[in-house]
A and B are shown apart, each in its own frame.
Chain A
Amino acid sequence: MDSQTTINSCKCETPSDAEDYSESLVLKPLPDGHLYAFFELKTVWHKDLHSINWANRFNVFPLSLGKLISKHELQELHFSLTKGVWKHQRWGYAIREAPPNAQLWLWFQHFHKNPQKAWRDITSELSGQFCSSINFIDNSATVQPKYSLRPEGVIDGNSLRNGSIFYGALPHESVCTENLTPWKKLLPCFATKGLATLLNAAHLFNSYYFSLAVDFRPICRDIHCESTSVELIQSISVVFNPPVMFDGKQSWSLVKLFGTTLTSTCSLAAKTTLYIDLTDTNNKNASKLTPEPTKLVYSVIGAEERKYAAYDLKQIMTQNGKALNIGQYFQDNFVYTNVKPPPLYANRFIKGYGLADGGITCHIFNNLDKPIEIVYLDVIPWYLRMYLHTLKITANSKSIKPHTIYYKPSKDRIQSHHLELLLVLPPNSMTDISYQFDRVFLKWTEYPPDANHGVYVNSAIISANLNTDKNFTYLPIRETISTQNLHFVRIYTQTLLVSLPTPDFSMPYNVICLVSTVVSLAFGPIHNLTTRRARIADNESDKKTKQSLISRVKNFFKRKTDTKSSEQKE
Chain B
Amino acid sequence: MVHQMNTLFRLLFFVIIGVSLRFSLLKSSYQKEISNRVEISSPVTAWKRAIEGVTLESMSISPYSGHTFHESPIFLHFYKWLTTSGHQLVEHLFVATDIFTALLLSLVCYKQLNYLSLLEEQRISKNVKKDDIQRLSIDRSHITEQSLRVAVIYLLSPYSVLSCVGQSTSVFTNFLMALTLLTTTLEMRVVSTALLALLSVQSFYPLMMIVAIAMIIEQNRCLRDKPTKPSEPQLVHYWSPSVRFSLLSTISMFALFFAAFLFISYKLMQNNCQFIESTFGFLWTVPDLTPTIGIFWYFFTEMFDHFREFFLWTFQINAFIYVIPLALTLRKNPYFLSFILLILLSLFKPYPTVSDFAIYTALLPQWSHLFTHMKQGLIITCMFVSCSVLAPILWHLWIVMGTANSNFYFGVTLAYNTAQIFLITDLLFAFVKREFYINNGVKTEADGKLSRLELAF
Contact = CB atoms under 8 A, between A and B. Distances in A.
A387 B402 contact: no
Interface stretch (A82-90, A191-199, A409-417): A409-417
Given A502-B406, A529-B429, A409 B325 contact: no
A413 B322 CA distance: 34
Contacts of B288: 412, 440-441
A504 B290 contact: no
Contact of A515 (B299, B435, B451): B299
Contact of A387 (B52, B414, B429, B455): B52
A449 to B, nearest CB: 17
B424 interface: yes
A501 B454 contact: no
A532 B68 CA distance: 46
B272 interface: no
A154 interface: no
Contacts, number: 176
Contact residue range for chain A?
35 or more
Nearest to B66: A409
B347 A411 contact: no
B295 A534 contact: no
Contacts of A536: 443, 451-454
A409 B56 contact: yes
Nearest to A508: B302
Interface in B222-274: none
B19 interface: no
B52 A388 contact: yes
B428 interface: yes
A501 B453 contact: no
Given A530-B326, A532-B455, A537-B451, A508 B428 contact: no
Contacts of A511: 298-299, 301-302, 410
A55 interface: no
B287 interface: yes
Contacts of B301: 441-444, 503, 511
B436 interface: yes
Interface stretch (A92-100, A160-168, A519-527): A519-527
Contacts of A514: 414
B329 A522 contact: no
A117 interface: no
Nearest to B325: A530
Contact of A526 (B59, B299, B399, B425): B425
Interface in A347-387: 353-357, 382, 385, 387
Given A356-B36, A515-B299, A523 B318 contact: yes
Given A501-B399, A521-B418, A534-B432, A411 B66 contact: yes
B238 to A, nearest CB: 16
Contacts of B298: 503, 511, 515
B122 to A, nearest CB: 21
6 contacts: A411-B66, A445-B305, A503-B301, A507-B302, A518-B417, A534-B454
Identify the 4 closest CB pairs spanning chains A and B, nearest first. A409-B66, A530-B325, A532-B455, A389-B55
Given A503-B405, A507-B407, A534-B432, 20 more contacts: A357-B36, A410-B68, A411-B67, A412-B287, A441-B289, A441-B290, A443-B289, A518-B421, A519-B315, A519-B318, A525-B421, A526-B326, A526-B425, A530-B325, A530-B328, A534-B435, A534-B453, A534-B455, A536-B454, A539-B445
